[in-house]
Amino acid sequence: MKIQFLGHASFLISTENHKILVDPFISANPQAENIDISQLNPDYILLTHAHQDHVLDVETIAQQSGATLISNFEITSYYAPKGIEGHGMNTGGSYTFPFGTVTSTLAHHSSSFADGTYGGNPNGYLINTGKQQIYISGDTSVFYDMRLLPELYGKIDLAIFPIGGNFTMGAKEAALAAEFVDTDRIIGCHYDTFPPIQINKDKARSWFEHYKKELILLEVEETFEL
Ligand code: NI
Ligand code: MN
């Protein structure tokens, strides 16, 4: 599995035969100005919630690529009249796609579209390709029930956590979240995009070192190979 950071909380995940785009917020992100969204061509677009900093480029990319949307039922229903094919899920459910099994997990956050439309409950996702499993928490606080994920779904090889604070957990909370889901490698996201989520990277890393875990901070467009 290859995981390319596209800025903020967006990633392009490449499995053996498929590309899954997560939470595209690219065209309005100055840090991602070198990314041409028409070149991404995902097979699937996975959305954690309806906030603008996660869904901005969904319509453009879905219409260009014909990608299938995977998200909660409210979000896939919102995009359906725009001609975007979707697979609706909800918290606690799993479904096996051609690239692997996706489990919709709990997230403590909110979820509304920029136009005020209700976006359902926010979610995180486990993606299990059969060879590897990653956990994308989505925007959330840390919560004790994260402990259930490895117990129910098995080893998590890598987690993608927000670490910017203010709107989500910060590095301190995310380090404990890594402990709860029992994973040693964490890719940080949702930091430094806006003034309230500016972080000190060394301080962030030190919270993870406390639990003997590795915080990976990718440059925009950089790819991590799992
Ligand atoms: Ni949000
Ligand atoms: Mn967000």
Compute the distance from residue 109 Cα to the ligand 2 centre, in Å: 9
Question: How is residue 147 written in tokens?
Answer: 């402990």
At a CB cut-off of 8 Å and minimum separation 6, what does 196 contact? 164, 165, 166, 167
Which residues in the chain come in under a pLDDT of 50?
none
pLDDT at 29: 98
**The residue type at 85:** E
For 90-119, letters b (16+ CB in 10 Å) and e give eeeeeeebebbebbbbbbbbebbbeeeeeb
pLDDT at 90: 98
pLDDT at 15: 98
Compute the distance from residue 195 Cα to the ligand 2 centre, in Å: 13
pLDDT at 184: 97
**The residue type at 147:** R
Of all ligands present, the nearest one to the C-alpha of 193 is 2
pLDDT at 3: 98
Closest CA to 165 of 178, 152, 174, 156: 174
Contact 125, 46 (CB under 8 A): yes
Of all ligands present, the nearest one to the C-alpha of 162 is 2
pLDDT at 207: 98
pLDDT at 160: 99
Compute the distance from residue 23 Cα to the ligand 1 centre, in Å: 10
Contact 160, 137 (CB under 8 A): yes
DSSP label at residue 114: T
pLDDT digits (tens, 9 = 90+) for 111-132: 999 999 999 999 999 999 999 9
pLDDT digits (tens, 9 = 90+) for 130-147: 999 999 999 999 999 999
Q: Nearest 10 degrees: CA dihedral of 191, 192, 194, 199?
A: 80
Compute the distance from residue 215 Cα to the ligand 2 centre, in Å: 19
